[in-house]
Amino acid sequence: MTKQYVLGVDYGTDSVRTILVDTSNGEETASSTFYYPRWKEQLYCNAELNQFRQHPLDYVEGLEHTITQCLAQVGPEVAANVKAISVDTTGSTPVLVDKAGTPLALLPAFSRNPNAMFVLWKDHTAVQEAAEINAHAAKFDTNYLQFVGGIYSSEWFWAKLLHVLREDAAVRESAYSLVEHCDWIPFLLTGGNKADELKRGVCSAGHKALWAADFGGLPPDDFFSSLDPVLKGFTARLFTKTYTCDQQAGTISKDWAERLGLPATTVIGIGAFDAHMGAVGGQIEPYHLSKIMGTSTCDILVAPLDEVGDQLVRGICGQVPGSVIPGMLGMEAGQSAFGDAYAWFKNILTWPLQQTLSKSSLIDDKTKAALLEESIAAIIPELSKAAALIPVDEYSEIAIDWFNGRRTPDANQLLEGAVLGLSLGTDAPRIFRAIAEATCFGAKRIVDRFVSEGIDVKGLIGMGGVARKSPYIMQMMANVMNMPIRIHRSEQTCAAGAAMFAATAAGIYPKVEEAMAAMGRGFDMEYFPEPEKIEVYAKRYQRYIALGSQIETETMSLHQELVAQA
């Protein structure tokens, strides 16, 4: 029997990764990674303003590069048996498009305008707009925020749209619609040329754009136009119908089939956010929290619809039927900074080294660059080794992990991180230990919220770079949670999940659960709580909660003072 293959494409924050997968067993037969060149230079970004934009050309070039590279590794015979492509992306990462569905940044007039580009998930320029949406929603009899945890975030669809439309008149006049990254790539691959015909996945629509079957679709135009007239008529240019990821967006266009070297019959699946497909790639189980741990975390939990009923969970990032597995309720939570918190501390430590080494006259430039690269790569592993040797003490240094705001529970992107209890005896490993611990405490707050709202959490599944590369942090996670955590074998669970959905969309498997069972790679590590450390971590967790409450009160009080002065 001729083997059948699919491509799973995973758009992350820094790069796009594509894998070619054998549908019979999930074996990864080829892979390729492309780092976004414009993003690498931080073009169109301003960290001081929390502005993070990505140019669509980074995505298009990465798509073509990684797929052609994968096919070059296996040859034309395998390429001829590729049946489907599915895509996952970060989110909410939307872009304004014209009537043809073309991102405005691909038009000459807007090629260097950040407001015409994709507004990356971690862009927090729309904090004020999110606050206005939350206040505005309270005026309506229907609670349009009930399925997104009751709080709208600056990281999401409508807040970003409102901010850009207000800020940029030229973009506002040229924009027709707003499209999530995960919906635009399938549209691109199928040769779409009408924004009105673009198929939207229920994942992005339900979790970020306020679409819900209970509302009959999106909230009415009056909800948005009464907030700000710039939004008037926008819902009519968006969508009413949504699709689950086991469905087809269409077949590949003639142009893209020729560019990539794929059969004209290649199916293009409906797209979704990375964590949702990653949960499937990591073989999610009902009531087991799947934690995709990278720059941030996205935590996914699924439960049978007939068991959950009308239960609403306050303060999470949404609960949407079919957003992960068709027929189940998909629930999303997460932390705005996880790996990013460690990277921030690493950058602080490396700044003096970079500045002084560049001025050294003792070694040549090539040696400087090599030495700097080697040193930076060793910082986190060395900190982890040293931090693991520090005894856990109830009153040692402690941190709050809101370095990029707080996503869950109860989104608030105005909040800031902190490290407390510093003394002249505090060194780098102790600060790192406190930051790592804070990210674990933040993860526990998410589990506690699910449980307090009546959703049981029976186990933890870890995925992503941090899960596989940091035994120190994963052991700490097990101790803080007082719960085992299984680590999935796959290095690319998001791309693997996309491949499973591609196989389902192509009809190779009738249900994604069957694709998951056949193509899943299983687990190869598990961390168990260390009984002697559970009690002290429980005490420190209570300190974390108390300190976080104080910092939140102080931060919001200061913010209100600044608003009053403005």
At 249-273, the pLDDT tens digits run 999 999 999 999 999 999 999 999 9
Query: Which of 254, 417, 295 shows the shortest CA–CA distance to 13?
Result: 295
Q: Give me the torsion for CA of 36, 38, 42, 43, rounded to 10°.
A: -150
User: Using one digit for the tens of pLDDT, what is the confidence trace for 52-107?
Assistant: 999 999 999 999 999 999 999 999 999 999 999 999 999 999 999 999 999 999 99
Give pLDDT, residue 393.
92
3-state secondary structure 340-351: HHHHHHHHHHHH
User: Using one digit for the tens of pLDDT, what is the confidence trace for 447-457?
Assistant: 999 999 999 99
Checking if the pLDDT of 310 tops 90, the result is: no
Amino acid identity for residue 373 in this structure = E
The answer to whether 112 touches 55, Cβ cutoff 8 Å, is: no
Q: How confident is the model at residue 360 (pLDDT cuts 50, 70, 90)?
A: confident
Domains and CATH numbers, the chain: 5-282+490-524 (3.30.420.40), 339-487+530-565 (3.30.420.40)
E strands in 351-414: 398-400
The structure tokens 């005894």 sit at: 391
- Residue 28 token pair: 């990864």
Give pLDDT, residue 399.
98
Q: CB-based burial of residue 51 (10 Å sphere; 0-12 exposed, 13-18 middle, 19+ buried)? A: middle
Phi, psi values for residue 313, rounded to 5°: -110, 115
Q: How many helices (H) and strands (E) does the chain have?
A: 20, 20
Give pLDDT, residue 79.
97
Residue 533 gets which letter from DSSP? H
- Supply the angle between the helices 56-74 and 181-189 in degrees, to the nearest 10: 60
- Supply the angle between the helices 365-388 and 339-358 in degrees, to the nearest 10: 140
pTM, to two decimals: 0.91
Checking if the pLDDT of 51 tops 70, the result is: yes
Q: Which residues contact 380 (CB under 8 A, 6 or more apart)?
A: 342, 346, 470
Give pLDDT, residue 123.
95
User: Using one digit for the tens of pLDDT, what is the confidence trace for 101-132?
Assistant: 999 999 999 999 999 999 999 999 999 999 99
Percent of the chain topping pLDDT 70: 100
Q: How confident is the model at residue 1 (pLDDT cuts 50, 70, 90)?
A: low
User: Using one digit for the tens of pLDDT, what is the confidence trace for 337-356?
Assistant: 999 999 999 999 999 999 99
Amino acid identity for residue 338 in this structure = F
Give pLDDT, residue 309.
87
Q: How far apart are CA 178 and CA 371, in angstroms?
A: 45
Buried b / exposed e over 509-527, threshold 16 CB at 10 Å, is beebbebbeebbbeeeeeb
The mean of the pLDDT values for the chain is 96
3-state secondary structure 276-332: HHHHHHCCCCCCEEEEEECCCEEEEEEEEHHHHCCCCCCCCCCEEECCCCCCEEEEE
The structure tokens 């970003």 sit at: 160
Residue 559 gets which letter from DSSP? H
| Alpha helices per DSSP H over 179-220 | 181-189, 202-208
The answer to whether 43 touches 120, Cβ cutoff 8 Å, is: no
